[in-house]
Structure 1
Amino acid sequence: MALQNHPMWRLPKHHLDHEGTHDHVHWVELFYDLIHVVIIFLLGNFLSDHLTMDGFWAFAGLFIAVWFAWADSSVFNSLYVSTDFKHRLIMSCQIVTAMVMAASIPHVLNKGWTFFALAYAANRLITAYLYYRTNKLGVEVTVLSRTVSRNFFGLAIVFAVSAFLPKPYNFIVFGAGIISIQFLYMLPKIGVLECKRFLPRLGHMSERFALLLLIVVGEGFFKLVITLSEKGVYKVTPEVLFNFMFGGIAVFVQCWIYFDFVGNGKPKSQAKWTLVNWWLAHLFLMLSAVMMGVALAGEVKVGFWDPYPLKYGAIGCIGLAAYLLCLLWIQGNIEERVAHKFATAKVRFFGVFLALVTLIVLPFVPALVGNLLWGTALISQIAIPLTQAYFHFLNEEAKEQQIKA
């Protein structure tokens, strides 16, 4: 085998130019995702420690920033099949930047900010270099890689500058940089989405979204288990243990809803706004999932008859309502599947309505009632479609047997 044909030395190549390309995620990408287990957990801790409006907006901003860093790297790996040893070394450096970002999160509002912003700038700079490398090697002959490289290089400077500015200008400049990322994708005529070769492998990106969703939703398990272990599993009442198990089932159902109805779903077209909606819907879906994961920690803090901790309950109810709306948003932008016949907008809005009702009554009812309402809102999203599908296919089967008879 010629050296240039071996994956360890083969140059990066746009997937449209690559023979035999596939959508499966490479192990290097999976390893990059691994650090995000820690980041999501620390972001959840940050929200738990800052259950105020200001704290929530800080959490949301941090989550969106981290998500874009992950997503932009994922887009590159979806566009360009890169397996050579130099790419692996570059990715190892990007993993280190994510590690520093993660370690900075607990103190990001104070002395940790400089480290977070500089690590984020370095992360963006590495993404810029990945695109620059494809241009320098001549594997991308259009303006695509040159344009994206220039954009991320400029943004890296913006993020680095924000590391040294006083409050609140540091957050304002950083936030402007985050918003600029999306404008540089979406703006008419000059946005990267206008480039004809900006066509990520949709199956690959769908798989990356699904893997990150597992990480994000799994944060709920972390919160439940660690909260109970710190209290001492042998110290709590049977009521708390029951709530604990209910929380675990709720986390499982969140994944069930996603994978049955939208998980690994490809966008229904390559149209610009279809891709944008698919992209943004996953961002807010995962943000909502972290909110629910944090809220479920409250299950271990209360029995049946005391009111559910209000701040935890509020983010849990709002998170569930937003999660269901995002599922519907994604569902409207991906290829049709059989399950969509039963997971209708009416079903989703029923769950949203119950979640908001729970939010209103939560301070006035025992936690048992709050869990019953919230759990009904969540589990109905599987129970109703499953029941409808069962009777639908049962009737179809009966009709087929009658025809054969």
Structure 2
Amino acid sequence: MDVNRPKTRSAHSSVSSFDPFLEKESRRGSSATEEKRMERKPSLKLFESNLAHERKGSLPSSPKQPTFVNISGPRSLAMPNIFEAALNTQPDPYKERLDDTHMRETPEFKRYEEATNIELFYDLFFVANLTTFTDVHEINAVPALKAYAGFFCILWFLWVQVSLFDVRFVQDSILERLGKACQFGVMIGLAILGPTFNPEAQKQGVFQSLAIILMLSRVILAFQYAFVLYQVWFYKDTKKPLLLIMGANFVAAFVYFVTYFGFRENDPHSRFFVVWYVTAVLETAVNIGVSSKWEVLTFQGTHLIKRMSLLTLIILGEGIIAFSKSIATITEREEAWTGPLLLTIATAVIIVYFIYMLYFDWINRDHFGSFREGIWAFLHFPFHLALVLLVEGAAQFIVWRKVVEVVREVNKRFLAAEMSFTGTSSSLLAQLLSNVTTEVFEKYNPVFPRSLKDSEKALYAIGNSTFRSIEQLKEISTLFAVIQDSIFDGFGIEPPEIEHTDPDPNEEWSKNADAFKLIFIYFFVASGITLILMNALNFLSRPKPTRGDYGRIAINFILGIGLASLASIVNTTQGFEYAQSAWILPTVALAFVLVMGMAYTKIFV
């Protein structure tokens, strides 16, 4: 073996010697990639531009007019056809430059196809306000219905004003988050004042505070539009529309502030709050009108349709929650579930489900014009108001259905006891009625001690009055009224406020009957208006309705009028009997099933 021969290195050993180096470079490359990834992560800025391009920093200059030089010569004479053809077919570079200039003078904003997280978070405050106000304010009298509609008007128009800004200009920045925080504060203020909102018995502090809150909400919006104006200041046809919107917000804020001085402690029935409703409608109309005329505020490319449909979904969800609460109320007091009660619950769900299907199937998700889209969005106010009254009325009828069944069962017990009584002693009759009353109260425990006190008082009067006298019959009627009022209280049905500290049970029963009639009226009116407005929204969003569409829309309109007209029968004997039957919700459900059937069948050509 030759020890002086040089050693040879294999290819494998050569590659292996580079392993540590390659490993080091790999680690360095991965760390560099991680650093780049961290650098690409967006950071929160003080102010984020709404524009999809760089902001212009100066006013546009007039485009330079091209200079044309006339050249004489035989070219056009020698080749007339070729020269003219080339002149007509070649693009005009100057015209293209003018088109480019016009495009550069129109700012392009960042658009979102879906609602942003901050918008969805803002919706939670709307839901919280609506739920709280609905729980506190039971619609059992006309003043309560007016108060509910009025507060919903304030809440809805505040939401829509903020949404009209967000769908076009929302961005994530420190200033934008501060603006949203202020709007959240406005919503919290409404949540604080909502439970005490009563236009028929105004508290000066409540209504003055509400005026200030509404003023601040519009001032915040005006400043948000001012930030947009700063971004597009050097573009043509941008300052005037944005200044108009800002002016409308400032004018509305001033009007709200002026109403502050209209509420006085010695005048609990002031009508200054009506100015809030009128102002909210007018400022929204101005916003929509200006947006339809100027391109800088157009709704094209925005997610306005999805925002309105999302609020519709929220209100339908409120209806499902109300149904669940009604079912829970029944479950707490009663374990028996009858067929009519199950039918009422099932048809309540069917109504909401079919409204959901019709509304979302009829939506045109494409842009159909800024003005028509604005009107379409504006019509959602009466639609949403009618819808929320519809679902609340349906939830009330679920409980009322059970109450009617329980009252009928109790009446049968008393009638059976009276029919079985063959004596002529008032004391024995009182003892018999006392036993039946005890059985009823054992099954349906009274909520208030006053019910026990009033029933004992009525039984005492029955036992100490002449048998079958008018006075005794009156006391028996009072006993029935006490028991029925106790059943209403047990199922969470409260009559309108009675001024007397010790109200007459018969008066309470009359108030409960009036509340039942009111629910019947506004439920059917709201059902009809909901169907009519859904038709109107469908018609507005359709680009070219066919003859069949016109036929279906006409029939749906007639059905809506028919549903609303049913409200007028409640004051008749047959109407009140129908109101106590299990066919109230199935009637409305059948109407929507019919509409659904026509929507998906070729009845009309």
Please state which band the TM-score falls in when normalised by the shorter chain.
0.7 to 0.9
How far did 1:35 drift?
1.0
Instruction: Work out which of the two has the higher radius of gyration on C-alpha atoms and give 1 or 2.
Output: 2
User: Residues 360 and 72 from structure 1, CA distance in 2 versus in 1: closer, same or farther, beyond 3 angstroms?
Assistant: same
Partner of 2:429: none
Question: Contact (CA 8 Å) 2:122, 2:184: kept in 1 or not?
Answer: yes
Counterpart amino acid of 1:355?
L
Q: How does 1:16-35 map to 2 (within 5 A)?
A: 17-18=107-108, 21-35=111-125
Partner of 2:164: 75
Question: Contact (CA 8 Å) 2:347, 2:586: kept in 1 or not?
Answer: no
Q: Deviations over 1:296-328 (max 9, x none)?
A: 122222247789932222111111111111111
Q: Deviations over 1:141-172 (max 9, x none)?
A: 42233332232122123213323422414314
Is 1:247 the counterpart of 2:358 in the alignment? Answer: no
Q: How does 1:345-360 map to 2 (within 5 A)?
A: 345-360=553-568
How far did 1:339 drift?
11
Q: Deviations over 1:113-157 (max 9, x none)?
A: 233332222222211111112224556742233332232122123
Matches of 1:340 and 1:266 in 2, distance apart? Answer: 22
Matches of 2:234 and 2:186 in 1, distance apart? Answer: 26
Stretch deviating more after TM superposition (159-168 or 205-214): 159-168
5+ residue gaps, structure 1, are 393-405
Question: Contact (CA 8 Å) 2:350, 2:589: kept in 1 or not?
Answer: no
Partner of 1:155: 252
Q: How does 1:299-314 map to 2 (within 5 A)?
A: 299-303=398-402, 309-314=516-521
Stretch deviating more after TM superposition (106-115 or 84-93): 106-115
Partner of 1:175: 277
How far did 1:218 drift?
1.7
SS at match of 1:238: coil
Question: Contact (CA 8 Å) 1:12, 1:139: kept in 2 or not?
Answer: no
Partner of 1:325: 532
Q: Deviations over 1:62-86 (max 9, x none)?
A: 2222212111111111222412232
Is 1:126 the counterpart of 2:215 in the alignment? Answer: no
Partner of 1:209: 308
Matches of 2:207 and 2:112 in 1, distance apart? Answer: 39
Matches of 2:277 and 2:193 in 1, distance apart? Answer: 17
What TM-score does the superposition give when structure 1 sets the normalisation length? 0.82
Matches of 1:213 and 1:339 in 2, distance apart? Answer: 27
Matches of 1:169 and 1:356 in 2, distance apart? Answer: 29
Q: CA RMSD in A?
A: 3.4
Q: How does 1:1-400 map to 2 (within 5 A)?
A: 6=42, 8-9=44-45, 11-14=48-51, 17-18=107-108, 21-45=111-135, 48-49=138-139, 51-52=141-142, 54-109=143-198, 110-111=202-203, 112-138=206-232, 141=235, 142-143=238-239, 144-166=241-263, 167-182=269-284, 184-185=286-287, 191=290, 193-201=292-300, 203-233=302-332, 235=334, 237-239=336-338, 240-262=341-363, 265-266=365-366, 268-270=368-370, 272=371, 274-298=372-396, 299-303=398-402, 309-336=516-543, 344-361=552-569, 362-365=575-578, 366-386=580-600, 388=601
SS at match of 1:368: coil
Matches of 1:140 and 1:243 in 2, distance apart? Answer: 62
Q: Deviations over 1:238-292 (max 9, x none)?
A: 1335423432332222211211112x6345223x3x2343122211111111110
Q: Deviations over 1:324-380 (max 9, x none)?
A: 111111112114599995682144135314413542444231431223322211222
Stretch deviating more after TM superposition (222-231 or 90-99): 222-231
5+ residue gaps, structure 2, are 1-35, 53-105, 264-268, 409-512, 570-574
Matches of 1:286 and 1:99 in 2, distance apart? Answer: 22
Stretch deviating more after TM superposition (8-17 or 219-228): 8-17
Matches of 2:345 and 2:171 in 1, distance apart? Answer: 43
Matches of 2:301 and 2:531 in 1, distance apart? Answer: 23
Counterpart amino acid of 1:324?
L
| Structure number with higher helix proportion | 1
Counterpart amino acid of 1:149?
M
User: Residues 376 and 358 from structure 1, CA distance in 2 versus in 1: closer, same or farther, beyond 3 angstroms?
Assistant: farther
Partner of 1:400: none
What TM-score does the superposition give when structure 2 sets the normalisation length? 0.57
Stretch deviating more after TM superposition (126-135 or 12-21): 12-21
Stretch deviating more after TM superposition (327-336 or 38-47): 38-47
User: Residues 225 and 93 from structure 1, CA distance in 2 versus in 1: closer, same or farther, beyond 3 angstroms?
Assistant: same
Matches of 1:278 and 1:194 in 2, distance apart? Answer: 16
Q: Deviations over 1:192-237 (max 9, x none)?
A: 6433322024550001001100111222122222233244446154
Question: Contact (CA 8 Å) 1:267, 1:333: kept in 2 or not?
Answer: no
User: Residues 378 and 116 from structure 1, CA distance in 2 versus in 1: closer, same or farther, beyond 3 angstroms?
Assistant: farther
User: Residues 47 and 258 from structure 1, CA distance in 2 versus in 1: closer, same or farther, beyond 3 angstroms?
Assistant: farther
Question: Contact (CA 8 Å) 1:331, 1:340: kept in 2 or not?
Answer: no
Counterpart amino acid of 2:146?
W
User: Residues 55 and 193 from structure 1, CA distance in 2 versus in 1: closer, same or farther, beyond 3 angstroms?
Assistant: farther
User: Residues 348 and 212 from structure 1, CA distance in 2 versus in 1: closer, same or farther, beyond 3 angstroms?
Assistant: same
Aligned residue pair count: 384
SS at match of 2:227: helix
Matches of 1:341 and 1:8 in 2, distance apart? Answer: 53
